[in-house]
Structure 1
Amino acid sequence: MATFEDIRLLRTTYLRGPSVWTYRPILEVWLDLGALEDHPSNQLPGFNERLTRWLPDLVEHHCGVGERGGFLQRLEEGTWCGHVLEHVIIELLNLAGMPAEFGQTRETSQRGIYRMVFRCPEEAVARVALAHGHRLIMAAINDQPFDLAAAVRDIKTAINDRYLGPSTGCIVAAAGERRIPHIRLNDGNLVQLGYGAAQRRIWTAESDQTSAIAEGIAQDKDFTKRLLASCGVPVPEGQVVASADEAWEVAQDIGLPVTVKPSDGNHARGVTLELSGEADIKAAFALAEPEGSEVIVERFIEGTEHRLLVVGGKVVAACRGEQVSVTGNGRDTLGALVHVVNQDPRRGPEQEYPLDWINLQAPAVQLELKRQQLTPDSVVPQGQEVLLQRNGNMAIDCTDEVHPDVAYYAQLAAKIVGLDIAGMDMILKDISQPMKAQGGAILEVNAGPGLLMHLKPTSGAPRPVGMAIVDHLFPRTEGGADSGRIPIVGIAGTQGNAFTARLVGWLLQLSGRLTGVASSEGMFLANRRTQAGSAAHWAGAHRLLTNRLAQAAVIQTTARSILGEGLAYDRCLVGVVTDMDGYEDLADHDVREPAQMARVLRTQIDVVLGEGAGVLNADIAPVADLARLCDGQVLLYSTDAGNPRLAEHRAQGEGRAVFTRAGQVILATGASERVLGTLATLSLPGGQQPDTAALLAAIAAAWAMDIAPELIAAGIKTFEYLA
C-alpha cells in the first residue's frame, strides 16, 4: 500500500464575525492535498473502514445529501480528503462536547488547493481540533495507529481552559436567544452584552449593576448576618472567634451543637456542621481558619440547606441540598464504596458536572470520619450508613415548592445587602412552609452565585436562570427595543468611503447621539480624532463597539478585512455598499475577477437587520443587485436621475432613492420627490465640493437612519472635513 505525504496546511485564519461563509466565528484552513488530489476516498484501500471504525457517529452527518448517512454515502461514492477532514474535525468537536454544526470545503482556482472551514466559538479550541483531525485523517489514509481517546481528552482540555464557564455560558446563550450580541473582553468570564452605550457587562453571575459595596458586605458573613438581623431577617446566633479555645468557649455560651465556618469563604469550604465535642470544635476551627480572614461559631439550626437564586428582586430558582453518605455491605472498604459512588456520570472535577467527586482526603470529610471512628480502609458493616458530607450537593430543584414567606425573606435579604443577583443559603426543614414558624434562617448571602445547580439539577427541572439574568439586564419592552444594540452603519467599498463614514457620523452626532466612527482616516468620537491611522478593520471596529460612550457607530470596512477577519459586529441597522473595486489586490484570497467581489461584499448587506436598510449604488449593476439579499428596506442612490434601476425601484411603490437631477439632490419615495438642495449649496464649509457619489451615499445612509432632511442639509454645510 502506498504511503501518502501529509495534507499540507498552507494557512489558517480565524474569522471572528460574519464573513463570506457564515454569520458566526469559523476557522478557515487552506489545504494542499498533494498526491491525494488524484485519490478520492473510494480509491484509498481500507480508508473508509478505518475512519468509520474510529468515528462511528459519522453516520449522523447528513452532508449535502440531506439525510442520515449522507456523508457515508459520499465516502463510498468518492469524495476528496479536504471534505473528509472537515467532517472529521466536526465529529471530534462533537465527541469533546462542543458541537461544530457547520463546515464547508471549496476548491480554489489552483488544482489540489482547497479552502475548508468549520465553526467553533474559540480559536484555540479550533486549532487543537484541526491538529488532531489532521493527524487522524492521515493515520486513516496510511493505515497507522491513532489514539482517539487522547485526542478527545486534549480537545476537552482546550475547551475547559478556553471556553466560558457554565454560569457565564448560559447567560451568553440566553442573550443569543434574544439576539443580543456579545463580546468576550478577556480570556476568562468577563463578557460584554450589547454594543457601545447600550452594553451591560457580566463576570460569571455578577453584572455591572452589582455593587462593589454590596459584594464586600456579602463577603463578610458576620457583618451580613448582623445587618440582616437588624432588619428582622432570621439568622443564626453567632460570634467571630480568634482561637480554637475561644471557639469552644463561645460554643458553650451559644449552646451546643454549633457550626464553625470562615467569615468570608466560598463554596462551603471550611464549613463544619453540628459540632458538640470540644475536640471536634477545635479541629473545625483549624479547618476554617485557612479559608477566610476570620472564623465564626454559630448556633446549629436543624434542617436542610437550600439555595435560592434572587435576580432583580425576585426568586427565580431554588435547590435543596442533601447529605452525602454511603451504605456498607460488610465486604468492601469505605474507600471502595466511595469509588463506586464516584462513577456516577453526574460527578466530576470540572464545572460542567453538577456533583463533585467525593474526596476522602478532604479535611471536612476526614473530620466526619474521625467523629464516626472510621478511616478509608474501614470495612463498613452491612446496612451501616456512613455520613461523608453534611453540606454541598445543592442540586435537587425545588423551585415550585417555595413558600411566599420564604421567597419574601430571600428577596428582602438581597435588597438589604444591595445585590441585584444573589445566592441565598437558607436552612429549612420544609421550603413549602413559612420560614419563622419552622425556625428557619438565612445562613449566607452570596454575590456572583454559581448557576450550574439550577441548570443541571440531579433531580427536578432545569431552570432558565440565564434568561432571568438577561431579562433583568435588558428588560423586555414592546417591540423588543431593549436589545443592547446601538445604531450601527456599516460601509463597504473603496470610493470615497472614509468621507462617507465621517459625514454620516457627523449627521448622527447632530441628531443627538454621541457617535463614534472607525474609518481608514482614523478613529473619531463626536468628530474629534481619537486615534490616527486606519481603523477600517476588525480591531478598530471592536474598540469602537466596546466604548461605553458610543451611542451610535459608523464603521468602514474593506473586502480584505471581510475575507481575512470577518465583521466585528453581528448585525447593523444600515449597510452601505458603494462599489466593487479592488479585486486586483485580493489574489491571495483567490479573488481573481470582478464578478467574485459580489460574494465578498454581500456580507455587508447580509447583516442588515430586518428593521434596517441597505444603501446601494445603483450606478454599479452588481452593487444594485445586492438588494435581493437585504432583510430590511433598500435605498438606492445614483448620480443619474434616468438610471433604469432607480426607476424600477421607485415603481415598486414605496422604494426610496437619492439622486441628482440638473444639479439638484432629490430624495424620492416612490413617485414623491423632495429637493434637498443643489450640489452647489450642499458644500462643505469654505465651499469645498465633495465627491458627488460619496455625498449621495452619506445622504442616503442618514435618511435611512430617519434623520430629518433639514438636518441633513444643515449638517453637510457645517461638516468640517480634514482628511
Structure 2
Amino acid sequence: MKIESLRRLRGPNVYLSRPAVVARLCLGDLAGVETADVTGFTERLLRAVPGLTEHHCAAGTPGGFVSRLRGGTYFGHVTEHVAIELSQLIGRDVSFGRTVGAGGTGEYDVILECPVDESPESPVPGELFRAAIDLVLEVHGGAGPSAAVLSHRLAGLAELAEREATGPSTRSIIAAARRRGIPVERFDDLSLVRLGWGHRRRLAWAAMTDRTSAVGVDIAGDKHVTRRLLDEAGVPVAPGGAAATVEDALRLLAELEAPVVVKPRHGRQGRDVALHLSTPDEVAGAFAAVGGEAVVEQQLDGRDYRVLVVSGEVVAAAERVAAHVTGDGVATVAELVERVNADPRRGPGHSRVLTRIDLDDTTDRVLRRAGLTRESVPDDGVPVRLRDTANLSTGGTSRDVTDQVHPDVTRLCQRIVALTGLDIAGIDLRLPDIGAPLQPGGEPVTAGVIEVNAVPGLRMHLAPAHGRPRDVGDAIVRAMFPGGSDGRIPAVAVTGTNGKTTVTRLIAHLLTGSGMRAGVTSSDGVVIDGRTVQVADATGPRSAQMVLGDPHVEVAVLETARGGLLRRGLGYDWSDVGVVTNITADHLGQDGLDSIEDLAHVKAVVAERVRDGGTLVLNADDPWVRSLADRPRVRADRKRLVWFSLDPENPVLTEHLSRGGAAYVLHDGWLVQATGARRMPLLRLAEVPGAYGGAALHVAANTLAAIAAARALGARPENLADRLSEFDPGVANPGRGTLFRLGDVAVFVDYAHNPAALAATLRTLHRLWGPERCVAAVTLPGDRRDDLLAASAQVLADGLTRVVLYEDTDPRGRAPGEVSGLVEREMRARRPQLTAVRADGYRDAVTEALRLAVPGEVVLVIYEKWAPIRAWLTELGAVPAGGTPVRAGVAALPSRHAAHRPTPAPVRG
C-alpha cells in the first residue's frame, strides 16, 4: 500500500466547506482484501490505537467503525480512520474523512479534513498518511508497533504540526477576523496573513499590520534611540546610555547608581539581558555576552508590567513574573522545573500560550546569586527565581491587570505610541503599582519606561496564568476594520459548461460601467482594471486569490471551472452572486466524472457557496441547472433566486414570476427584466454586440445571465443598453464567435469543443448563411471521452458538408492522429457523402478550408489556442468584419424576432 499522489483542496470543495487533502492510495497486495479476511487484525489494531473504538463511521454512533472492521472493510477506509485518529492524538483537531473508489483496481481517494488555517504547503497531512499506512501494514503483518515506537512517531508528528501552526498572536487575529466574517488567507507557513479582499484587504504579520510605521519599528528596535526620544519628550526612563565598548559600559557603571542592567541595544525577547549587576567584572561579563553594542541602565525597582496599546487605545495590561518554581522540600530545582514544563500549556518557542523553562548558563547564574544550584532542594513554599527578566519567551508567566490601570498610566502609554509612531505597541514599565498615580518630575527616577516593543507578543494577554483573558486579537481586527466592516468586496462566481468566459467578461464590462475597478479571472487569464496581468487558464483558486488579493480591485468576477474546483477547491469562501450558465456533457471521464449528474454535483458547489442574502442566477431552460435549486445546501429560501430564459413561456419562469420573483427573459426579440407582473424592456437582441442581428441565440442567454448578475450588484437598468452597446466582442471577448472577412469569404472563429457548443455555433451560421454554405476547420481536445468526441462528430456531420480536421498541438494523452481519425470515422458513418479532409496543423487546416469555400460562404474555425489562429488569419489578410454578416436575401432571424417593443406592464395588486 502506498500514496500515489497528494493534493490539497484549499477552500470549499465537493466534499465539505472547509479545506481538505486528497490522497490517492494504491492498495497493492491488499487490493480486494477486507479486514475480516485477516485473522486478529481488528483486535491488534484496536490495541495499537484504542481511540478508534469511539469513531462513528457511517453508523453515526461510537463503535460504528469497529463494526465495519469486524464485518469487513477495505484497507483504504482503515487508513482514513487511522489518519484521523493520529491527527487527534497530536492535537490537530479534524474529524471529517471519506474514502471513495478512484477507478482502478485497488485505487482509492482518501479525503481528510485539514485545519482551516494550516498552510497549503504543510507537510503534516502527507506525514500523517504515511504514518497511518505504516501502522496499518505493521498491524496487518503482525503485532503492530510497540507503544514506545508509536509514542516516538507521534511526538515527531506533533512537533512538526506545532512548527507549521500559527503562533498564538496570529491565531488570535485570525480567529477574531473569522468571527467577523472577514476572509483570511495565510501565506505559506508564515505568520503573514491577508485579511479581507481587494481594495479593502489588509495585511498582518503577528501583531504588526500594513499600517505599522517602519520608522516606529526601527525606533523600537534600537533601545538607545527609544530611550533618548522618550527622555527628550519628558517621559520617565531609566538613566543610562549606549556602550560600544566594555570601557563605555564600565564608565556608565561608575556614573550610575548600582545595580545596573546590561542589555543588547538591538535585542529582543529578553535574550542576553543581565540584571542586578554591581561590580565591574559582572558588567564586563554581561557586555561580552551581548556580543555587540549594549545599553547600560540603572535598574529600577518595582513590578514588571506590559501595556498593550492598539491604535491609541490601551486594550490590555499584564504584570509579568519571571520564570520560577516553588519548593516542596523534597524535589530538586531541576525536578521542579521538569514538573512545571509538564504543563500542557507550555511548549517550545511561541507555539503555545506558555514557553518551556530551559536550564542554562543564565539559570545557573541566577541560582548562584541566591546560593543555589540545580540540585538544591528548596524548602516547602519557597519561590526560586530562575530568570531575571520576566519575558514569556524565557518561561515567565503573566497576571492580567487591565482593569487596574491608572488613568495616568493610560495617558503615558498613549503619549509614548504617539511619539514613536506605532499603531500597535507593547510598552514595558517598571512601577510600584500600575493602579497608582504617577509621581511627576521626581528625582531620582524610581519608575519608568523600560522598553517599547513593536510587534509585541500577545500571549500574556490571551491566556494569562492568573486573571481574565483579553481578546486582544479582536482589538487589532477592530482597529484594522473599523465600523464593523467585513473587509469584503462584491464577488461574482460564474460556472457552467459553455459560455462561462463570455458571461464573465460581460459582467465585468457592465460593472465597470458603474465606475468599479474589476478583477477578472477567465480561461484566458487574469485582468485587473482592464489590464491583463497573467495569460493562462485562470479559472482555479490561485487565480481567484490573485484577484481577491489585489488592492486595486473593487469587484471580483471569477470564472470558476470544474478542473480547478475538483483539483484545488474554491479560491474563496462565499460569493455575493453565483451564475450557472448550463450543464451539458463535457469533460466526462476526467477527474472521476462519469455522468452529467457528477458534473452537476461539482457545479453545485458554486451555487451552494453563494452567501445568505446573495443572488443565485440560474438557467431555467437547462434541466440540470434547474435541479440545482432543489439541492438542500443551495437553500433557495436564504438566497435570492433569479432565473434567465429564452422562452417567456417556460413553466419554471412563469411559476417563479407568479410568486413575485425576478427573471430575465428573451421576449419578442427584446431582452426583458421581469419582476412579478412587471416587464421592463432593456435592449433589442438585434442590437446586442456579437448576437449578429439576433442569429446567435446563445449570445442572448449569455447576455441575460450577465445582466442578471450585474443588476444583483446594483447596475442601473437605464445604463445597461448603453453599456452593452459599447461591448466590442472582437476586443473584449476575442475568439468567442469572432468574425473576419477574407475577400468574399467570411471566417467565423469560435472555441466550441463539445456537442452543445458546436450545435449552438452551427445554428447561428445556418441562420446567417444557410446550412449548405458552411465549411469548417475543426480540432477537438484529446482529453474528451470517445463517446463525447463521437457525439461532437455527429453534430458536425449534421451541420456541415465540408470539414477539414486537424490535431491539437497538445494531444492530451492521445496518439498522433487518433482524435481526427475517430472524428472522421464518426462523421462519415453519419453522413457518407460528407467531404472530410485531414490536415497537418492549424495553418494547413485553415488554408484548406478557405480553398474549399466559395465566395459568399463562411469558414468556421474551431481552435485550440487563440493567439496562433489570430496571427495566422492576419498573415493571410483576414480583417475583423464587424456588423451583421447576412447575405442578400437571407433573413437573420425567424420572423417572430422582428416584433415590436414589449409594453411595460404595471405591477399587479
* TM-score where L is the length of structure 2: 0.73
What residue is the counterpart of 2:96 in the other structure? 102
CA contact (8 A) 2:167 2:352 kept: no
Report the Cα distance in structure 2 between the residues aligned to 1:383 and 1:522, rounded to whole angstroms: 69
Deviation at 1:604, TM superposition (A): 0.6
CA contact (8 A) 2:604 2:628 kept: yes
Pick closer, same or farther for the CA change 1:49–1:435 going to 2, 3 Å. Answer: farther
Gaps of 5+ in 1: 1-5
Q: How do 1:128-143 and structure 2 match up within 5 A?
A: 128-143=127-142
| Equivalent of 1:710 in 696, 703, 718 | 718
Deviations, residues 117-150 of structure 1 (Å, cap 9, x unaligned): 1111344211111111111122223324323223
CA contact (8 A) 2:528 2:547 kept: no
What residue is the counterpart of 1:576 in the other structure? 579
Report the Cα distance in structure 2 between the residues aligned to 1:646 and 1:383, rounded to whole angstroms: 80
CA contact (8 A) 2:508 2:518 kept: yes
- Mean CA deviation greater in 269-278 or 435-444: 435-444
Report the Cα distance in structure 1 between the residues aligned to 2:493 and 2:402, rounded to whole angstroms: 45
What residue is the counterpart of 1:270 in the other structure? 272
1:452 pairs with 2:459: yes
Report the Cα distance in structure 1 between the residues aligned to 2:43 and 2:503, rounded to whole angstroms: 58
1:535 pairs with 2:538: yes
Pick closer, same or farther for the CA change 1:355–1:287 going to 2, 3 Å. Answer: farther
What residue is the counterpart of 1:357 in the other structure? 356
Report the Cα distance in structure 2 between the residues aligned to 1:256 and 1:110, rounded to whole angstroms: 79
Instruction: In structure 1, give the amino acid aligned to 2:649.
Output: G
- Mean CA deviation greater in 215-224 or 105-114: 105-114
Report the Cα distance in structure 1 between the residues aligned to 2:667 and 2:165, rounded to whole angstroms: 56
Instruction: In structure 2, give the amino acid aligned to 1:198.
Output: R
What residue is the counterpart of 1:593 in the other structure? 595
Deviations, residues 203-226 of structure 1 (Å, cap 9, x unaligned): 111110111111111111222222
CA contact (8 A) 1:505 1:527 kept: no
CA contact (8 A) 1:616 1:637 kept: yes
CA contact (8 A) 2:220 2:454 kept: yes
| Equivalent of 2:491 in 488, 506, 510 | 488
| Equivalent of 1:657 in 660, 663, 668 | 663
Report the Cα distance in structure 2 between the residues aligned to 1:265 and 1:310, rounded to whole angstroms: 21
Deviation at 1:51, TM superposition (A): 2.1
Deviation at 1:78, TM superposition (A): 4.0
What residue is the counterpart of 1:3 in the other structure? none
- Mean CA deviation greater in 320-329 or 588-597: 320-329
Report the Cα distance in structure 2 between the residues aligned to 1:615 and 1:580, rounded to whole angstroms: 14
Report the Cα distance in structure 2 between the residues aligned to 1:683 and 1:300, rounded to whole angstroms: 79
Report the Cα distance in structure 2 between the residues aligned to 1:170 and 1:324, rounded to whole angstroms: 24
Instruction: In structure 1, give the amino acid aligned to 2:503.
Output: T
- Mean CA deviation greater in 688-697 or 244-253: 688-697
Pick closer, same or farther for the CA change 1:70–1:467 going to 2, 3 Å. Answer: farther
1:429 pairs with 2:432: yes
Pick closer, same or farther for the CA change 1:651–1:80 going to 2, 3 Å. Answer: farther
Report the Cα distance in structure 1 between the residues aligned to 2:561 and 2:527, rounded to whole angstroms: 18
Report the Cα distance in structure 2 between the residues aligned to 1:382 and 1:661, rounded to whole angstroms: 91
What residue is the counterpart of 1:468 in the other structure? 475
Deviation at 1:102, TM superposition (A): 1.6
CA contact (8 A) 1:330 1:381 kept: yes
Q: Secondary structure at the match of 1:395?
A: strand
What residue is the counterpart of 1:75 in the other structure? 69
CA RMSD of aligned residues (A): 2.7
Instruction: In structure 1, give the amino acid aligned to 2:703.
Output: L
Instruction: In structure 1, give the amino acid aligned to 2:355.
Output: D
CA contact (8 A) 1:624 1:636 kept: no
Deviation at 1:157, TM superposition (A): 3.0
Deviation at 1:472, TM superposition (A): 1.5
CA contact (8 A) 1:424 1:442 kept: yes
Deviations, residues 630-664 of structure 1 (Å, cap 9, x unaligned): 542111111111111111111222x1100101101
Instruction: In structure 2, give the amino acid aligned to 1:16.
Output: R
Instruction: In structure 2, give the amino acid aligned to 1:127.
Output: G
What residue is the counterpart of 1:699 in the other structure? 707
Q: How do 1:109-258 and structure 2 match up within 5 A?
A: 112-120=106-114, 121-122=118-119, 123-146=122-145, 147-258=149-260
1:402 pairs with 2:402: no
Deviations, residues 540-565 of structure 1 (Å, cap 9, x unaligned): 22222221111111111211221111
Deviation at 1:230, TM superposition (A): 3.3
Deviations, residues 408-443 of structure 1 (Å, cap 9, x unaligned): 322221222111111111112222222438943121
1:320 pairs with 2:305: no
- Mean CA deviation greater in 408-417 or 594-603: 408-417
CA contact (8 A) 1:322 1:390 kept: no
Q: Secondary structure at the match of 2:403?
A: helix
CA contact (8 A) 2:163 2:351 kept: no
Q: Secondary structure at the match of 2:287?
A: helix
What residue is the counterpart of 1:668 in the other structure? 674
Pick closer, same or farther for the CA change 1:239–1:603 going to 2, 3 Å. Answer: same
Number of residue pairs aligned between Structure 1 and Structure 2? 707
| Equivalent of 2:60 in 55, 66, 69 | 66
CA contact (8 A) 1:511 1:707 kept: yes
- Mean CA deviation greater in 299-308 or 47-56: 47-56
What residue is the counterpart of 2:833 in the other structure? none
1:644 pairs with 2:651: yes
Deviations, residues 40-83 of structure 1 (Å, cap 9, x unaligned): 44443222222222222234433333334443344344443333
- Mean CA deviation greater in 605-614 or 67-76: 67-76
Pick closer, same or farther for the CA change 1:418–1:46 going to 2, 3 Å. Answer: same
Deviation at 1:187, TM superposition (A): 3.1
Pick closer, same or farther for the CA change 1:59–1:272 going to 2, 3 Å. Answer: same
Gaps of 5+ in 2: 391-395, 735-909
Instruction: In structure 1, give the amino acid aligned to 2:722.
Output: A
Deviation at 1:372, TM superposition (A): 4.4
Report the Cα distance in structure 2 between the residues aligned to 1:688 and 1:307, rounded to whole angstroms: 72
Report the Cα distance in structure 2 between the residues aligned to 1:240 and 1:35, rounded to whole angstroms: 71
CA contact (8 A) 1:571 1:607 kept: yes
CA contact (8 A) 2:9 2:20 kept: yes
Percent identity over paired residues: 38
Q: Secondary structure at the match of 1:413?
A: helix
CA contact (8 A) 2:38 2:140 kept: yes
Instruction: In structure 1, give the amino acid aligned to 2:561.
Output: T
Pick closer, same or farther for the CA change 1:91–1:407 going to 2, 3 Å. Answer: farther
Report the Cα distance in structure 1 between the residues aligned to 2:531 and 2:728, rounded to whole angstroms: 10
Deviation at 1:684, TM superposition (A): 5.9
Select the structure with the greater relative contact order (CA < 8 A; seq sep ≥ 6): 1
Q: Secondary structure at the match of 1:587?
A: coil
| Equivalent of 1:621 in 623, 628, 638 | 623
| Equivalent of 1:632 in 628, 636, 639 | 639
CA contact (8 A) 1:495 1:694 kept: no
Instruction: In structure 2, give the amino acid aligned to 1:669.
Output: T
Instruction: In structure 2, give the amino acid aligned to 1:608.
Output: V
Deviation at 1:515, TM superposition (A): 0.5
Report the Cα distance in structure 1 between the residues aligned to 2:548 and 2:356, rounded to whole angstroms: 42
Instruction: In structure 2, give the amino acid aligned to 1:594.
Output: I
Q: Secondary structure at the match of 1:523?
A: strand
Report the Cα distance in structure 2 between the residues aligned to 1:184 and 1:295, rounded to whole angstroms: 37
What residue is the counterpart of 2:838 in the other structure? none
Report the Cα distance in structure 1 between the residues aligned to 2:359 and 2:56, rounded to whole angstroms: 47
Report the Cα distance in structure 2 between the residues aligned to 1:18 and 1:332, rounded to whole angstroms: 53
Instruction: In structure 2, give the amino acid aligned to 1:537.
Output: G
Pick closer, same or farther for the CA change 1:714–1:112 going to 2, 3 Å. Answer: same
What residue is the counterpart of 1:605 in the other structure? 607
What residue is the counterpart of 2:769 in the other structure? none
